[in-house]
Structure 1
Amino acid sequence: MKADNNLFHHPSYSYSSLPLRFFLFIFLLSLSSPPSSANGLLGDAQQLLSFKNSLPYPDHLPNWQPTISPCNFHGVSCNNNSRVSSIDLSNYLLDADFFKVASFLLSLQNLESLVLKNANISGAISSAPRFSCSGFLNSLDLAENAISGPVTDISAFGVCPALVSLNLSRNLVDLSVKEVAKGSGLSSLHVLDVSYNKISGENVVSWFLSDDEFSELQQLSLKGNKVGGSVPELNLKNLMYLDLSLNNFSTKFPTFGDCSNLQYLDLSSNKFSGDVGDSLSTCLKLSFLNLTSNKLTGPVPKLPSGSIQFLYLQENYFQNIFPASVSDLCTTLVELDLSFNNLTGNLPQELASCSVLEVLDVSGNSFSGEFPIDTLLNLSNLKTLSMSFNGFLGSLPDSLSKLVNLETLDVSSNNISGSIPSGLCKDPKNSLKVLYLQNNIFTGLIPESLILANCTNLNWISLSNNEWDTGFGRLANLAILKLGNNSLSGSIPGELGDCRSLIWLDLNSNFFTGTIPPALFKQSGNIAVALLTGKSYVYIKNDGSKQCHGAGNLLEFGGIRREQLDRISNRHPCNFTRVYRGTIQPTFNHNGSMIFLDLSHNRLDGSIPKELGSMYYLSILNLGHNDLSGPIPQELGSLKNVAILDLSYNRLNGTIPQSLTSLTLLGDIDISNNNLSGMIPESARLTRFLIIDFRIIPVSAAVETKKRRKKKEAALEAYMENHSNSATAHSIWKLSARDALSINLATFEKTLRKLTFADLLEATNGFHNDSLIGSGGFGDVYKAQLKDGSVVAIKKLIHISGQGDREFTAEMETIGKIKHRNLVPLLGYCKVGEERLLVYEYMKYGSLEDVLHDRKKTGIKLNWNARRKIAIGAARGLAFLHHNCIPHIIHRDMKSSNVLVDENLEARVSDFGMARLMSAMDTHLSVSTLAGTPGYVPPEYYQSFRCSTKGDVYSYGVVLLELLTGRQPTDSADFGDNNLVGWVKMHAKMRVSDVFDPELMKEDPSLEIELLQHLKVACACLDDRPWKRPKMIQVMARDSGGIRARCKKESK
């Protein structure tokens, strides 16, 4: 939208448009105010009301009325002279362009501060040439908007002579800075934040730190841009704060000249390399230094002493021993993180002088030697000690209890032996909250001292994968208790039911005997521990290999570090294959706060307690591989939030209770290898999973199920004959009064061709890297030419349990019958030992992700016609899975890398049976609740483990956004902490055309109307409320008025 340069002369902004009562108000005010004050306030009011009237939605400022003093307007403050001096309209949906802001607000004569954070301000800074600015304005905050234009346009703010603080973070300031103009006019600026924009180029830092441009600059943030190239020697004479993190710097570590005033330096998440050396030796006031996630080598750098408080050097390649010179920093050092480097040796004794140190993290290195208790005991203020993933030896001494301020102790994945110190929690002043001892070789008794009376703050205990061989003490008031894979015996204590905040109980793979105590399920759980409430947690699924038991593991709240999975200790026998996220309930209003219960792989007998049905929040329940008997209690139907249920490998008998049909969130159920009989209850969800997973079921149940479906199959076959899937590329399926009927898979193609391992080994040259064309979550993909000359793609699945041969074959025969022009067809398969190989038709151009985002790899450019064709094809393929198969198939991982492109640029959806296949082959826990890929995961998947067709619709909406915008779904440089969906939704409310790929707009500007219609379809797919999203068959009929209306409403 072009700026209206005649805006000031428009009738709607004239004084005559203001009601008479406003002038009466000004007259009354003048009786008690100096004449100049009243006149000035009149002018301020006129400008503010003119600004309001210029907005598309002026009712967003409801109390900005002519009868009200501007000093009482929402977001407005006045000075002692009754003049408008401060405006804060953060989070107001103003939908204004920058021209109006500059014309009406910046020119307010006495304005000192203007904050319009997240106020839907758009347009280029250059749209308001030669605007006037208050001579008093010292602070301007325009963060989190859609202001655009080259970064050098900020020179326009040079007309604000008193401006000292400018915040343009999280906008669309872009373009490469190659040749920049001299003379910004901002020589008085002290604080400049342009983080999370689209700034690139190689001269950016030089321009900002030039004496000629910003000579008085004290704080500069360029975080989250795409700035790269070399960094010249920096002369930071006045600079106190510099943040260049999350950019594309890839040179040697920069040299700092005069940095005598620098206090804060963040260069993290770049690719700086080499030895830091003495580059920072002149930064005598430096108190915060973050060099995380670079490629720095050499020894830990020597830094000036006397001021460093926070030092973060993790995730680099620093080597050699822990430097004794760190002791020079000890008088001020509060937090030190050296994790995930290549450091060796032991912790130096000199570290003992760091008396104010509160956080010490040396995890993920190659430290060794005895546990350095003598050194650690001197760190009396220590709150967090993380030494995981190293090679420390010896035992934990009783004297460790002297660290009474210690809140988190993590010595997991080492070679520490012996027993837990009996006095660890004896001191009533102890602060211990989190205790990680897993993956070591601890033995003996878990001490009685871990009881409520002493460890009042303890809420996470992980002792799994050790060698405990006796019972455990009274563990109370806990949130997390992980004791899996030990040698614990005896009965499970009912006292655990007294733990009001217990959310995670893992006792798998021990030698527990006796019955499951009903008292375990009496926990009231009304209040969760403060540390956990409302926090995110990460659950990782075990790979199901023979030596790996149990459902999975819980990692630290707030995120998962890939390095922890890559460097896990040999003491842990499991590989982790899938990651799930969720949020702990802030309060528990029903009985039972527990969300995870794993008692599998023990020797428990007796019946399943009916009291288990009272655990309202339970999401994962694994009682498999025990000796339980009797019927499945009807009460389990009350577990309304359960997503994963495993009762396999027991001696349960009777029928499957009808009450299980009410488990609407159920994603997986495994009740195989029992003595159950009768019919499967009438439930589409149960039928879907039990037909796949009910591995050893009496013939009677299968026969009854077959009888019920026999008549339906005949009708479906007739429908198939009359509704061919050979639609042309130009046809679009229309909605009928009801959804398309389903088609039983048995009516499709003939049996798959079986190939030998030798055939595929020869075709890939022994699965040589030269044949590798891709990798994914389920395995590697190789290009191969078979003996008959046909070119195929071979997917070599990740290794999983070899006990699933029958399930693998059944799934192959099922998936192989699914044929559609927009699905990648499965041509054959091979299984030998633990190897599983799938043979697919080869697609010339690979994935849409490569074609769209890595043009050098594919060598083709997609115009709009090609993109539209791909969008329609992908929708057809997904709709076929949802509406034309029994059981309906949920993809669970729809993304651009799973949309392949053939030689005719036709879209082919791939991997549509992978999540289901891996579930069927998993002999311990058939988890089908795959969360998907970040950026494509619908919001409801973070609330529960339930997957649905509407989740696939959401993921398709993200793919459609990729085609429209040309952007990837997650890119910190583009979106910061946001993602593509959030970015588009924000911009769709402002200047919607800014979201489209500039290449498409250059191709044909008239495309904007058509692109807008497709954006509306994407908007409908991306509704946060799953029930509001269209079905895929509706998406195909994208000229449906209902979808457009909803998108139009949401984009307002």
Structure 2
Amino acid sequence: MTSLTSAQLCFLPYCLVILLYVSSPNWVAFPAATSTSHTEAKALLKWKASLFLNQALNNLTWYDPPTHHIHATNSSSTNRKPRTSPCTWTGVSCNSAGSVSKLNLSTCGIQGTLHEFSFLSFPNLEYLNLSLNKLFDAIPPQISYLSKLHHLDLSYNQFSGRIPPEIGLLRNLRFLRLSKNTLLGEIPKEIGNLKSLVNLRLSYNNLSGLIPPNIGNLINLNTLYLGKNQLFGLIPKEIGNLKSIVDLQLSFNNLSGLIPPNIGNLIKLNTLYLGTNQLSGLIPKEIGNLKSLVDLELSENNLSGLIPPNICNLINLNTLYLHTNQLSGLIPKEIGNLKSLVDLELSENNLSGLIPPNIGNLTNLNTLYLDSNQLSGLIPKEIGNLKSLVDLYLSVNQLNNSIPASFANLSNLEILFLRDNQLSGSIPQELENLKNLTFLVLDTNQLSGYLPPNICQGGKLTNFSVHTNYLTGPIPKCLKNCKGLFRVRLEQNQLRSNISEDFGVYPNLDFMDISHNNLYGEISHNWGQCPKLTALRMARNNLTGSIPPEIGNATQIHELDLSSNHLVGLIPIGFGRLTFLERLKLNRNQLSGRIPLEFGSLIDLDYLDLSTNRFSDSIPSILCDLHKLYHLNLSNNKLSQAIPLQLGK
């Protein structure tokens, strides 16, 4: 056996001490980190204790840390508490030294404030995500103690007060997300010091004042969301320095002045949202330089002048919103180059001239809004090439001639608005092929001929409006089984049909107007089985028979107009159940009997016209109790006795 030297014997105790350290179950490699870990654990528990007690808080598996005894004996281990280093706690991660580096409690449902959060106790925290909780009150200025922080997300909470200027001391910050709170005041200019910032989101708050010009210092920024605030003043020209920016959203503020031309320098820009502000002047032609642009939203401003043709160079454009401005001139024919376009909205401007036929090249188009302009001429048949189209709005223009039969190719079309133009000719029967159609609105034109007999062939039609045209012939029989109808307007035409069996029972019907036609027959009892009906207008037709008592079951009715027909008999006493009724017009018929006492239940009635009938007996005094009544016409009847004195009060 080899003998030990004296030097080796002297070294042996040190080896034993090291061995005890390593074999100890509570051994921590770095004593300094142990101290930090204890401090961090206590700080987290103190903050937890300040939060509102709820189930979410109970789900946080944070426990008191055990006391560490370096020279623990084997016998003591039988009673030892489980190890609860904060590194194992819910949402907590540590670095290699055992110090908290990441705290992610997003969507945990915790409720409370940050007042008891000891920021100073977390010298190594790099990532803090408390988003999607119910935290409220101010963001403490002490947040600046988190000097190593590179990710801060407090979005989707209820934080209030100002953004602390001290946040500008977090020089390592790359992600700052404070959206969806109720923060107010100005954006602190100190944010311009965060040169490492890549992602800045302050949208959906109550921030006011100017956008600080030194935001242009954030040259690494690729995302800037300031939308849905109350910011005002100019868009600073320094924003043109953000050469790395990909996503810029300033919509829904009160920004004014011109769009800075040097926004054309932002050649990496993918999304540009400046809508719903008070921006004025021309759309800068430099926007045509943004070749990477996918979404361009400049709507709801005061922009004027022409649509710059070079905007049509943006061949990656998916969305183009220029609606609700004061743009004038022609729709540039180059718009047909935007083959990637899915959503094109130019409505509510002063655009004139023809719709360019090569708009039919936009075969990916899902939505086309050109309504409320001064467009004229024909609707180009090439629109029939837009097989992906779902919404088509061409209303309130000066378009003329016929509706193209090629519209029958739009098999995905759900909404078709052509109202308030100068369209003529018949409604193409080919529209029956549009099986997905829910809205068909063709009113206020000069259309003639018959309605397509199978217009509700797909069974999805909810809104059908063809009023104020020169349509003739019968009401399509298919409407009887079109159960999804919500709003129907056929008035002011020359339709001629026996309506006794034309209409069915509609669970969702809200509004029906067939007045001012040549319709005849009796009023169907089915109207009483339409539980959501609020308006029924059948005036100025040739309807006969009595008023069906079942109408008294349509208790949601606010307006009932059966005037100027040939109705006979009594007013059903069931009308007393129509307690939401505001306007009742039964004038110019041949109704008889007494005015029902049940009218006393119609407490919301403000307009009552029973004139030019054959009512007899006295004027019921209960009419005096209808305090909202401002129009009452009982003339040209056979009423006896005096007018009740209270009626004039």
Return the offset for 1:184: 3.1
Structure 2: distance between partners of 1:377 and 1:745: 55
Aligned-partner Cα distance in 1 for 2:353–2:455: 31
Q: Answer yes or no: is 1:482 the counterpart of 2:441.
A: yes
State how far apart, in whole Å, the 2-side matches of 1:617 and 1:162 are.
Answer: 57
The alpha carbon displacement at 1:517 in A equals 2.4
Query: Residue 207 of structure 2: SS of its match in structure 1?
Result: coil
Counterparts in 2 of 1:419 and 1:745: CA distance versus 1, 3 Å: closer
Specify which of 225, 246, 266 is matched with residue 204 of structure 2.
246
Q: Compute the displacement of 1:333 (Å).
A: 0.2
What amino acid is the match of 1:415? Q
Instruction: Work out the CA distance in 1 between the residues paired with 2:243 and 2:219.
Output: 6
1:321 paired residue number: 282
Which of 273, 285, 291 aligns to 1:312? It is: 273
Match of 1:979 in 2: none
The structure with the greater share of residues assigned to helix is: 1
1:497 aligned counterpart, secondary structure = coil
The aligned residue for residue 411 of structure 2 is: 456
Relative to structure 1, the CA distance from residue 281 to residue 152 in structure 2 (aligned partners, 3 Å threshold; closer, same or farther) is: farther
2: CA distance between counterparts of 1:155 and 1:237? 26
Q: Residue in 1 aligned with 2:308?
A: 348
Q: C-alpha separation between the residues in 2 aligned to 1:282 and 1:652?
A: 72
* Residue 128 of structure 2 is aligned to residue 165 of structure 1: yes
- Please tell me whether residue 511 in structure 1 is matched to residue 470 in structure 2: yes
Cα 1:594–1:94 shift into 2, 3 Å: farther
| Contact 1:447–1:472, Cα closer than 8 Å, also in 2 | no
Moved more, 393-402 or 409-418: 393-402
Residue identity matched to 1:661: G
What corresponds to 2:421 in structure 1? 466
1:1004-1033 deviation per Cα after TM superposition (whole angstroms, max 9, x unaligned):
xxxxxxxxxxxxxxxxxxxxxxxxxxxxxx
SS at match of 1:472: coil
Query: 1:277 and 1:182 mapped to 2: Cα distance?
Result: 28
Counterpart among 390, 396, 402 of residue 349 in structure 2: 390
Give the equivalent residue in structure 2 for 1:220: 177
Distance 1:626 1:192 in 2: 63
Q: Post-superposition shift, 1:400?
A: 1.8
Alpha-carbon distance in structure 2 between the residues aligned to 1:263 and 1:419: 45
Which one-letter code corresponds to 1:435 in the other structure?
A: L
Partner residue in 2 for 1:418:
377
Alignment of 1:661-672 (within 5 A): 661-672=552-563
Query: TM-score if structure 1 supplies the norm length?
Result: 0.47
In the alignment, is the contact (CA less than 8 A) between 2:582 and 2:604 conserved in 1?
no
Contact 2:497 2:520 in 1 (8 A): yes
Matches within 5 A, 1:502-901: 502-523=461-482, 592-683=483-574, 686-688=577-579, 693-696=584-587, 701=592, 703=594, 705-706=596-597
SS of 1:226's equivalent?
strand
Structure 1 residue 605, shift from structure 2 partner = 2.5
- Which residue number corresponds to residue 403 of structure 2? 446
Which AA in structure 1 matches 2:407?
A: L
Q: 1:815 to 1:171 in 2, by over 3 A?
A: farther
Contact 1:652–1:676 under 8 Å retained in 2: yes
| Displacement of 1:352 | 2.4
Structure 1 counterpart of 2:424, one-letter code: D
CA–CA distance in structure 1, aligned partners of residues 104 and 122 of structure 2: 13
Note closer, same or farther for the CA distance 1:616–1:806 as it changes in structure 2 (3 Å cut).
closer
Asked if 1 retains the 8 angstrom alpha-carbon contact of 2:567 and 2:591, the reply is no
Q: How far apart, in 1, do the equivalents of 2:64 and 2:394 lie?
A: 59
2:47 corresponds to which residue? none
Q: How many angstroms apart in 2 are the aligned matches of 1:261 and 1:465?
A: 50
Q: Deviations over 1:124-165 (max 9, x none)?
A: xxxxxxxxxx9567342254846233x554445954955613
One-letter code of the match for 1:141?
L
Letter matched to residue 501 of structure 1: K
| Matches of 1:412 and 1:309, distance apart in 2 | 27
CA distance in 2, matches of 1:405, 1:513: 37
674-683 or 338-347, which deviates more: 674-683
Is the partner of 1:423 in helix, strand or coil?
helix
The CA distance in 1 between the partners of 2:340 and 2:243, in whole Å, is 25
Rounded to whole Å, the distance in 2 between the matches of 1:695 and 1:354 is 60
Amino acid at match of 1:165: L
Q: Tell me the distance in 2 between the aligned counterparts of 1:94 and 1:624.
A: 62
Counterpart code for 2:105:
D
Deviation at 1:690, TM superposition (A): 6.7
CA contact (8 A) 1:425 1:449 kept: yes
- Is 1:298 the counterpart of 2:189 in the alignment? no
Name the amino acid aligned to 1:411. Answer: L
Alpha-carbon contact 1:195-1:225 (below 8 Å) kept: no
Given the alignment, which residue of 79, 94, 105 partners 1:141? 105
User: Partners of 1:641 and 1:805 in 2: how far apart?
Assistant: 22
- d(CA) in 2 for partners of 1:238, 1:686: 69
User: Aligned in 2, Cα 1:322/1:743: closer, same or farther, shift over 3 Å?
Assistant: closer
The Cα shift of 1:421 comes to 0.8
User: What is the CA-CA distance between 1:96 and the residue it aligns to?
Assistant: 4.0
Contact 1:143 1:171 in 2 (8 A): no
Gaps of 5+ in 2: 1-23, 27-51, 66-83, 93-97, 611-619, 634-649
Within the alignment, does 1:371 sit opposite 2:331 as a pair?
yes
Superposition deviation, residue 344 in structure 1: 1.8
- Partners of 2:630 and 2:245 lie apart in 1 by 55
Aligned to 2:161: 200
Label 1:260 to 1:397 Cα distance change in 2 as closer, same or farther (>3 A): closer
Distance 1:675 1:155 in 2: 83
Q: Distance in 2 between matches of 1:182 and 1:340?
A: 38
Question: Is residue 362 from structure 1 mapped to residue 322 from structure 2 by the alignment?
Answer: yes
SS at 1:280 equivalent = helix
How many residues align structurally?
546
* 2:298 aligned residue (317, 330, 338): 338
Of structures 1 and 2, the one scoring higher in RCO (CA 8 A, sep 6+) is 1
Amino acid paired to 2:317: L
Distance 2:420 2:603 in 1: 46
Unaligned 5+ residue runs, structure 1?
Answer: 1-34, 38-92, 116-133, 524-591, 714-741, 747-802, 808-812, 819-886, 890-912, 922-1052
Counterpart of 2:229? 270
Q: Secondary structure at the match of 2:310?
A: helix
Structure 1 residues 685, 240: CA separation in 2 closer, same or farther (over 3 Å shift)? Answer: farther
**Residue identity in the other structure for 2:312:** A
Task: Tell me the CA shift for residue 686 of structure 1.
Answer: 4.5
Name the amino acid aligned to 2:398. Answer: I
1:593 Cα deviation (Å)?
Answer: 2.2
Structure number with higher strand proportion:
2
1:366–1:391 CA contact under 8 A, matched in 2: yes
Which residue type is aligned with residue 466 of structure 1?
N
Distance in 2 separating the partners of 1:815 and 1:145: 58
- The 2-side partners of 1:410 and 1:325 are apart by 25
Shift of 1:222: 4.0
Q: State the secondary structure of the residue aligned to 2:440.
A: strand
Aligned-partner residue type, residue 193 of structure 2: N
How far residue 276 of structure 1 moved from its aligned partner, in angstroms, is: 2.1
Distance 1:322 1:105, change over 3 A: farther
Measured after TM superposition, the shift of residue 502 of structure 1 is 1.5
